[in-house]
Structure 1
């Protein structure tokens, strides 16, 4: 069976039209062989194009199908498709991020397994990640403000320092430096004098240090001897002796014992005083009239004579 030239021509035209439609859609980011399961997300502004990729962990898994402005909410709605093999839940988040330093943005699906599986038509939550350029721009903006403030403070400080340096009054820096210079000169002279005194008395200082060393050694030996001599027991015995002496003195003060009665009993004192007087008279009488008392020793009786 022969196919006519007209049929062949028709078939070629149909195939050409089909390939043209497929290629045109492919260049727009649509693959006619993939499913048309659309998912949605919304942003406060639009920084995407239909050629922006849809990725998961840096791998392209889909394309943006449509970008539209929602007049009711003032947000930008993005419709995108993904590969049928990708499974994610309705709790997943779509993140818009910068794909490079030269610009360009893409969508990244932060896959979550919590919640229910996402169905076509689901509106997913969105977030925006600031890129390096935006972050640096904000940082440099803050740094510029801080640098301006720092430069102003530096200018004020330099002006104050200049005023202080050029001040010739008693409160100025020049006067202070001059006074400090004089003080350093005096200190240098004093230091030289001290060095001369030390150099002249080097031997005496050496002997003094040697004597101090010997004294410290003797004190150390004395301390060790006192430590070994059991000073604690000696002090304890001395305390006991003092306590006993205090007890005796207290008894004497209270008139107890012979000494206490002698000191406190007036009658005994009077008797002793009378006996002392009588003894004194007896001794005086013996001195004046010894014959009265020694006649007992004499063989010849000596008569007693009155005064």
Structure 2
């Protein structure tokens, strides 16, 4: 059985598009195949925090900052969206997410201080 040239070209184009999609997301710091949970934090100042900065608990990386938005309707506070990529991490509702410098060069990251509450934050919560 012979495969037509049109089929080969179509198959190659579909594979190329899939690889390009995966590659672009990989370069942006997004893992297409991971199941991540999205959370939000509202801050007065973020002092240089940027998308793709780390999110950690006690220095252990658990995720990445995904997006940052200004909230003009909320006194120009800043909404930070971060994704937890580790499925085993549960965050109690009384936990705090603080922004701090992670090295001497001034890189920022979000550090989560785990609380003691037995209720856990749900994906999409602030």
Fold similarity call, TM over 0.5: yes
Gaps of 5+ in 2: none
In the alignment, structure 1 residue 93 sits paired with structure 2 residue 80: no
Secondary structure at the residue paired with 1:81?
A: strand
Of 79, 82, 88, which residue of structure 1 is paired with 2:81? 79
Secondary structure at the residue paired with 1:72?
A: helix
Stretches (4+) displaced over 6 A: none
Matched residue, 1:21: 21
Check the 8 A contact 1:45/1:76 in 2, yes or no. Answer: yes
Check the 8 A contact 1:29/1:64 in 2, yes or no. Answer: no
Query: For 1:90-129, what aligned pairs fall within 5 Å after superposition?
Result: 90-123=93-126
Cα distance in 2 for residues equivalent to 1:42 and 1:106:
15
Cα distance in 1 for residues equivalent to 2:2 and 2:88:
45
In the alignment, structure 1 residue 53 sits paired with structure 2 residue 54: yes
Secondary structure at the residue paired with 1:89?
A: coil
Deviations 1:171-214 (A, max 9, x none): xxxxxxxxxxxxxxxxxxxxxxxxxxxxxxxxxxxxxxxxxxxx
- RMSD over aligned Cα, in angstroms? 1.5
Structure with more of its chain in helix, by fraction: 1
Query: For 1:58-69, what aligned pairs fall within 5 Å after superposition?
Result: 58-69=59-70
Cα distance in 1 for residues equivalent to 2:116 and 2:28:
31
Please, what TM-score do these two structures have when normalized by structure 1?
0.38
Please, what TM-score do these two structures have when normalized by structure 2?
0.88
Structure with more of its chain in strand, by fraction: 2
Cα distance in 1 for residues equivalent to 2:28 and 2:109:
16
Deviations 1:21-63 (A, max 9, x none): 1111121121111235210001111321102111122122111
Cα distance in 1 for residues equivalent to 2:56 and 2:24:
23
Query: For 1:1-307, what aligned pairs fall within 5 Å after superposition?
Result: 1-46=1-46, 47-73=48-74, 74-83=76-85, 84-123=87-126
Cα distance in 2 for residues equivalent to 1:7 and 1:113:
59
Q: How many Å apart are 1:3 and its aligned residue?
A: 2.0
Cα distance in 2 for residues equivalent to 1:36 and 1:72:
28
Q: How many Å apart are 1:67 and its aligned residue?
A: 0.1
